[in-house]
């Protein structure tokens, strides 16, 4: 064998060796695992925020310029307490006019008119009584054939006229009194309405609570559609969670919730489902869940964001596998090419319970 042939043979062996080594090193090793017995909790994910109990936005009933802010952010308020005052010059003038009209229409202000008619009634009554006496005397004379028929008829006519005048005076008195009562009551109601409208320019708190935010400044133009402030309870808070429409049928009042917040990193708080609002938000395709803390954190503020897991079910000693090893929630790979059907129980976001089809000694492979 020549030296040249020897070099060629050695080079060929070296190339073959490198190729085999390359193929072996490049061969992909398929990942596998075995089922594990552990606790599993099935839950529904939700996100949301914290709101103060009874939290609401303050609105004005009238339009106007914000004239005065009576309180500041962080202040505590009582129900009915004035928060803001709006400009009200026109309303004030209307109230003053209504006050004048009510004073002018008051019965006491028209007592002279009633007294005048009352005197007319008294005079009419005396004249009627006097004409009746004269008529009675004339009738006696006529019965004794004294006097004339004409004189009797004149006395009867005088009595009828005075009686009519008396009754007319009574009717005028009653009608005037009725009209004065109506006008007085109407004016008082108009005054009450004007005062109520005037008070609409004072924006009052609807409940006891704390002012968390003031949204407008003095001098701004305000309308009934613009929120002025946010008020809520200072000690009690609720959770408002958004749950996907695909999960809402699994959620029920009374279920436990585990809550995490950016404000309390590394801590988990417990809450409970209180209420499921039955109308879906068509834009986000979610339902709103109201919940309350079992034991709320020491410090909370409205609109703090949170994430939550609503617990549906849990099992202490469940045979579980990672969910990424499942194929269509029905099969697992027991070799590189063979699938096996399994029955699934509880699931969380990482694990799935195996009810049938595997034991903890089995190996399963990650699908390629």
Residue 308 above 50 pLDDT? Answer: yes
Q: pLDDT: is 70 or 188 the higher one?
A: 70
Q: Where are the domains of the chain?
A: 32-40+315-365, 46-54+235-313, 55-87+203-234, 90-200
DSSP state of 139: H
Q: What is the pLDDT of residue 114?
A: 75
Whether the CB-CB separation of 273 and 255 falls below 8 Å is answered with: yes
Mean pLDDT of 32-52: 90
Residue 27's pLDDT band (cuts 50, 70, 90): very low
Give the global pTM. Answer: 0.54
84-103 pLDDT per residue, tens: 988 765 555 554 555 655 56
| pLDDT (average), residues 121-131 | 89
The per-residue DSSP string of 176-236 comes to HHHHHHHHHHHHHHHHHHHHHHHHTTEEE-SSSEEEEEE---TT-EE-TTSEEEEEE-SS-
Q: Taking the alpha carbons of 220, 225, 227, 231 in that order, is the dihedral positive or negative?
A: positive
What confidence score (pLDDT) does residue 115 get? 82
Phi–psi pair at 207, nearest 5 degrees: -160, 165
Instruction: Give domain 46-54+235-313's CATH architecture.
Output: Beta Barrel (2.40)
- The CATH class, in words, for 32-40+315-365 is mainly beta
Distance from the first to the final alpha carbon of the chain:
51
Say what the pLDDT of residue 148 is: 85
pLDDT above 90: percentage of residues in the chain: 33
Confidence of residue 23 (pLDDT cuts 50, 70, 90): very low
Evaluate if residue 112 carries a pLDDT over 60: yes
Output the CATH code of domain 55-87+203-234: 2.40.50.100
pLDDT at residue 125 greater than cutoff 80: yes
Please state, in angstroms and rounded to a whole number, the distance separating the CA atoms of residues 19 and 237.
69
Residue 24: band (very low, low, confident or very high) from pLDDT cuts 50, 70, 90? very low
The values of phi and psi at residue 333, to 5°, are: -95, 120
CA-closest candidate to residue 209, choices 228, 230, 231:
231
Q: In a 3-state reduction of DSSP, which class is residue 25?
A: helix
Q: What is the mean pLDDT of the chain?
A: 83
- Identify which of 76-90, 114-128, 252-266 has the greatest average pLDDT: 252-266
């Amino acid at each position: 064998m020549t030296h040249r042939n020897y070099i060629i043979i050695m080079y060929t062996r070296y190339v073959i060796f490198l190729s085999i080594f390359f193929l072996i090193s490049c061969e992909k090793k398929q990942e596998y695992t075995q089922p594990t017995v552990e606790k599993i909790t099935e839950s529904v994910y939700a996100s949301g925020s914290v709101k103060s109990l009874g939290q609401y936005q303050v609105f004005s009933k009238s339009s106007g310029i914000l004239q005065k802010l009576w309180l500041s952010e962080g202040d505590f308020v009582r129900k009915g307490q004035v928060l803001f005052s709006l400009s009200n010059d026109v309303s004030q003038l209307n109230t003053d006019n209504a006050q004048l009209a009510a004073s002018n229409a008051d019965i006491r202000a028209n007592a002279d008119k009633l007294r005048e008619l009352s005197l007319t009634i008294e005079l009419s009554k005396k004249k009627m009584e006097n004409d009746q006496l004269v008529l009675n005397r004339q009738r006696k004379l006529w019965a004794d054939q004294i006097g004339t028929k004409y004189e009797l008829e004149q006395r009867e006519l005088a009595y009828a006229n005075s009686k009519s005048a008396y009754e007319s005076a009574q009717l005028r008195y009653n009608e005037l009194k009725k009209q004065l009562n109506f006008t007085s009551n109407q004016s008082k109601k108009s005054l009450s309405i004007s005062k109520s409208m005037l008070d609409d320019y004072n924006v009052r708190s609807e409940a006891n609570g704390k002012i968390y935010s003031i949204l407008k400044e003095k001098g701004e133009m305000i309308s009934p559609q613009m929120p002025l402030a946010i008020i809520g309870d200072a000690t009690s808070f609720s959770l408002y969670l958004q749950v996907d429409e695909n999960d809402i049928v699994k959620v029920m009042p009374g279920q436990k919730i585990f809550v995490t917040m950016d404000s309390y990193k590394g801590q988990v708080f417990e809450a409970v489902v209180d209420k499921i609002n039955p109308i879906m938000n068509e834009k986000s395709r979610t339902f709103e869940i109201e919940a309350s803390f079992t034991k709320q954190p020491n410090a909370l503020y409205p609109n703090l964001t949170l994430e939550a897991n609503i617990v549906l079910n849990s099992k202490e000693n469940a045979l579980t596998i990672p969910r990424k090893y499942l194929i269509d929630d029905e099969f697992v790979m027991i070799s590189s090419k063979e699938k096996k059907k399994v029955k699934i129980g509880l699931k969380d976001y990482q694990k799935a319970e195996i009810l049938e089809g595997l034991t903890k000694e089995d190996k399963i492979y990650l699908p390629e």
